[in-house]
Amino acid sequence: MANPSIVELTDTNFATEVLKSDLPTLVDFWAVWCGPCRQIAPTVDAVAEAYKGKLKVGKMDIDHHQLTPQQYGIRSIPTLLIFKGGKVVSQVVGAVNRSKLEAELAKHL
């Protein structure tokens, strides 16, 4: 993962990085083989940079870490979940554009 503003999430670090985070957290559930995941990646990168200090952004590869996606009922990717206070407060499914993602984030920041 090239962007230092994005945390690589695993089944092991998910609770610490997301559920116990002081900041609202955007989690991108993705996979290498997923075309729409590659399509939305620059948007997720841009949001991570634009909201640095206000929002934590993490990505979880569902092929390498399967427990957490199952726990949250991830059935299609990309799925973006917004966590606040350790709870899911919003979900965005599919390769949405930046303005739609930012509109959803604005409700929770």
- As annotated, the active-site residues are 34, 37
CA atoms within 13 A on the CB side of 104: 19
Q: Report strand pairing: 25-30 vs 79-84.
A: antiparallel
Query: Which residues are bridge partners to 84 per DSSP?
Result: 87
Measure the CA–CA gap between 46 and 65, rounded to whole angstroms: 24
